[in-house]
A = this chain, B = another copy of it.
Amino acid sequence: MTHLIEIETKGPGLYEFTDQLMPFVTGHGTLTVFVRHTSCSLLIQENADPDVRTDLHEFFQRLVPSLDDPSMSYLTHRYEGPDDMPAHIKASLLPVSLTIPVISGRIALGTWQGVYLFEHRQRSHRRQVAVMMSQA
């Protein structure tokens, strides 16, 4: 079994991939999930009302707006597009790694928790997530 999951993204927002982790869940220990990029993030969030995901995206868009916004004029890393440096900032505020206990063969996610890739860039990307199950 490979240790890489690939996730295709088409613009900013949350992409759930909880199901893709399940083949790695075995035994008793911890599952580590790690995203190999600096302009997208991982996130565990509510998997019920999709409005939660929309609102999360809107909040982070306001906290860290595009370089086109006058409030961001102090930023200097500008040559990769108006969404690039904001993406790096969001990727600092949100998780790059998650470690989830696996207790006697069952992942310890709560009922309402899903695992998401949070894309911060505008254009399409193929993102790589590394996964490792470690026995206790």
Binding site for B on A (CB under 8 A): 3, 29-30, 32, 34, 36-38, 43-46, 49, 51-52, 54-56, 58-60, 62-64, 74-77, 85, 88-89, 91-103, 108-110, 112-113, 128, 130-136
The 3 closest A-B pairs by CB, nearest first: A36-B110, A108-B130, A101-B132
Query: Across the interface, do A101 and B3 meet the contact criterion of CB distance under 8 Å?
Result: yes
Can you report 24 residue pairs joining A to B where beta carbons are below 8 Å apart? A3-B103, A29-B132, A30-B32, A34-B99, A34-B101, A36-B110, A37-B113, A38-B110, A44-B96, A45-B88, A45-B91, A51-B76, A51-B77, A54-B77, A55-B85, A56-B89, A63-B63, A93-B93, A95-B96, A96-B98, A100-B130, A108-B132, A133-B136, A134-B136
CA–CA, A56 and B91, complex, Å: 10
Stoichiometry (number of copies) = 3
Contacts of A59 in B (CB 8 A): 64, 75, 89
Query: Across the interface, do B113 and A38 meet the contact criterion of CB distance under 8 Å?
Result: yes
- Chain A contact residues: helix, strand, loop or mixed: mixed
Known: A51-B76, A60-B92, A96-B98. 10 other contacts (CB 8 A): A29-B134, A38-B44, A45-B92, A52-B77, A58-B75, A63-B63, A97-B99, A101-B131, A108-B130, A135-B136
Query: Across the interface, do B112 and A38 meet the contact criterion of CB distance under 8 Å?
Result: yes
